[in-house]
Chain A
């Protein structure tokens, strides 16, 4: 039976002040939830030299961990904490390339420069889409459609570019690794691009393409993978659930009135969070019936962040009992 856990209403709690406001970029909020410690947040903050990351200090006040200031093209446009078994790295992408830091932003571990043409070309160059995969790799997408696979040593700075995956023809928007149990042949990594094309991969020494879900021209801006279900958010406000193994569509939700900017998934419960330009954040419940192979999605909760175009939304705990949201021009992270 498709059991749905009792719905517990969310309520708005504290906000963390940011030193500068958030930019309108996809998936613009990263949360690190170390067990038994309070979460830390990071995002692509706009306009100025210094980027900052909020970490709630004891007593609930917000501290900011500054990332060293950098000139314009190096300004991070996206940030994500990549949790690997041996270490956690903070990865930042920008117009020039990829930077990796120790998780508190203190030391730079690695820097990969993208090839930038002499004169600005019609096609922009940037890196976008970050995910840890296969317990050993960090994957970063690029505007050419290529996905860079970095092999991360358990400690130290000897990061190497192990592979470049070239299956996408449009700029990468998001990358996600399996957060639950991968099914046979379903892959443990999904990559998404501007045209809505999704690629499913099996990670390892060499990554293997297991399947491709062709896009229909509508950008997939955010993607998650859980127990063989791909949850994808699109520019037309839809959320679609795909079966990773077969590539078949299993659910279609007219979720938002505007472009979806962020999706997140709570692996312990299968809760899905979506945030969009329409000011809304929705919490959904995914469920899978092992007997019938039925996949379902139900609406749990809606929050309207008044007069804000949401650009980042993340659960702050693996069960999805709390989540955080930020929006364009907002100098705070709102916690629910």
Chain B
């Protein structure tokens, strides 16, 4: 499958994560003067957004991301977002982090599925980046970083053919396969059915470059058109108005990838699926499956460059709750179906040079043989070591 999928997956999921965090932080924020020590203010919110965005778009981080590589597992990717979400003073409990990840992934799955053309995934990405730039519009340093990434995206992807984009899309769809978590905002807007599957409309504008179905043209052996016929179907399509812009600035036209959350629309998920789907997800999570060696390498390199902020002094950091009450969060943690648990690996890869060297040495020592069935044990040793760091 495509080796150019990871940057798109990461940036779009990251974008969704920022939309959700921003909405929750706004919903839970108190005006500065009135706030108690453990309550969020606008200043706190901006700081968190700045910290996370700055970490996401860091140069070394992006360099690793843009290297041609296969997609990693949901587990490995989830670990990256766990660390990202904690690069600031904000703390999330497992239940809230699970919910955040559910929302992020279902939102991007929806966007990939509904993209009119495979190439439009790039427009979706640009929509996310446009919004991210808005979040940090008063921080020129970070803005620069984001623009750099924007340029790298344009350089890497604008020249790809439709066929290559379809391969990227197919790779993404395989990543999202069998995920049918129900999201309240989607259910309410009737873009998702109660069985967790998305509604695929058979009306509306056709993709740019496609004709409205219905015309049959017949040519003779000299290439001259000799007959026209029409057929009708249940679909109700129209021609699109214009194409979205693939430049650094421009009207993207496509709405997919823009922020669908606002303070007035609470963010909820129902975490369940039909039993058939759970069966297939169960297989992936219950069989002991430590992260593959390549995934550990990738994570070590990627996370090694992440700036993890430890809360100053005795502060434990502000906790953000993705649910409406603490009790709800607790309840969600206890009732989350076993099959949907992400079984996150706790990798404490820090910025301290000493620790990082240690990590590299450990990984280097293990880089002796090709993975064999027996190497599952080695993987577990490494994880144990890393947990202890």
Q: Are A219 and B200 in contact (CB under 8 A)?
A: no
Q: Are B197 and A307 in contact (CB under 8 A)?
A: yes
Q: Are B1 and A251 in contact (CB under 8 A)?
A: no
B380 to chain A, nearest CB (A): 18
B37 within 8 A of A: no
Q: Are A297 and B218 in contact (CB under 8 A)?
A: yes
Of B99-107, B171-179, B332-340, which stretch is located at the interface?
B171-179
A222 within 8 A of B: no
Of A147-155, A199-207, A254-262, A314-322, which stretch is located at the interface?
A254-262
CA distance A249 to B68 in the complex (A): 39
Per-residue CB contact flags for chain A residues 319-336 toward chain B (1 = under 8 Å, else 0) read 000000000110100000
Across-interface contacts of A246 in B (CB, < 8 A): 221
Q: Are B162 and A235 in contact (CB under 8 A)?
A: yes
Q: Are B235 and A278 in contact (CB under 8 A)?
A: yes
CA distance A255 to B232 in the complex (A): 10
CA distance A258 to B206 in the complex (A): 7
CA distance A297 to B216 in the complex (A): 8
Give the number of chain B interface residues (Cβ < 8 Å).
57
B193 within 8 A of A: yes
* Nearest-CB residue, chain B, relative to A307: B200
A12 within 8 A of B: no
Across-interface contacts of A304 in B (CB, < 8 A): 202, 233-235
Across-interface contacts of A46 in B (CB, < 8 A): 174, 177-178
B256 to chain A, nearest CB (A): 15
Given A124-B1, A255-B213, answer yes or no on A307-B206 (Cβ-Cβ < 8 Å). no
Across-interface contacts of B313 in A (CB, < 8 A): none
A-B contact count (CB 8 A): 171
B69 within 8 A of A: yes
CA distance A56 to B205 in the complex (A): 40
A163 within 8 A of B: no
A236 within 8 A of B: yes
Per-residue CB contact flags for chain B residues 105-126 toward chain A (1 = under 8 Å, else 0) read 0000000010010100000000
Q: Are A219 and B69 in contact (CB under 8 A)?
A: no
Across-interface contacts of B283 in A (CB, < 8 A): 48-49
Band of interface residues on A: 35 or more
Across-interface contacts of B70 in A (CB, < 8 A): 120
Most buried by B among A121, A236, A249: A236
B311 within 8 A of A: no
Per-residue CB contact flags for chain A residues 239-259 toward chain B (1 = under 8 Å, else 0) read 000010010111111111111
Main secondary structure of the interface of B (DSSP, over half): loop
A294 within 8 A of B: yes
Across-interface contacts of B229 in A (CB, < 8 A): 298-299
Across-interface contacts of A122 in B (CB, < 8 A): 3-4, 68
B389 within 8 A of A: no
A47 to chain B, nearest CB (A): 5
Given A21-B178, A217-B162, A304-B234, answer yes or no on A237-B210 (Cβ-Cβ < 8 Å). yes
Across-interface contacts of A236 in B (CB, < 8 A): 207, 209-211
CA distance A308 to B173 in the complex (A): 13
CA distance A140 to B81 in the complex (A): 40
Q: Are A217 and B161 in contact (CB under 8 A)?
A: yes
B318 within 8 A of A: no
* Nearest-CB residue, chain A, relative to B160: A122
A81 within 8 A of B: no
Q: Are B220 and A219 in contact (CB under 8 A)?
A: no
Per-residue CB contact flags for chain B residues 138-180 toward chain A (1 = under 8 Å, else 0) read 0000000000000000000000011110110110011001101
Within 8 A of B (CB), among A281-318: 282, 293-299, 302, 304, 306-309
CA distance A238 to B217 in the complex (A): 11
Across-interface contacts of B170 in A (CB, < 8 A): 23-25
- Give 30 CB contacts A-B under 8 Å: A46-B178, A120-B3, A120-B68, A122-B68, A124-B2, A124-B3, A170-B163, A217-B162, A235-B166, A236-B210, A237-B206, A243-B221, A249-B219, A250-B220, A250-B221, A254-B215, A257-B206, A257-B212, A258-B207, A259-B166, A278-B213, A294-B218, A295-B218, A296-B227, A299-B216, A304-B202, A304-B233, A307-B193, A307-B199, A309-B113
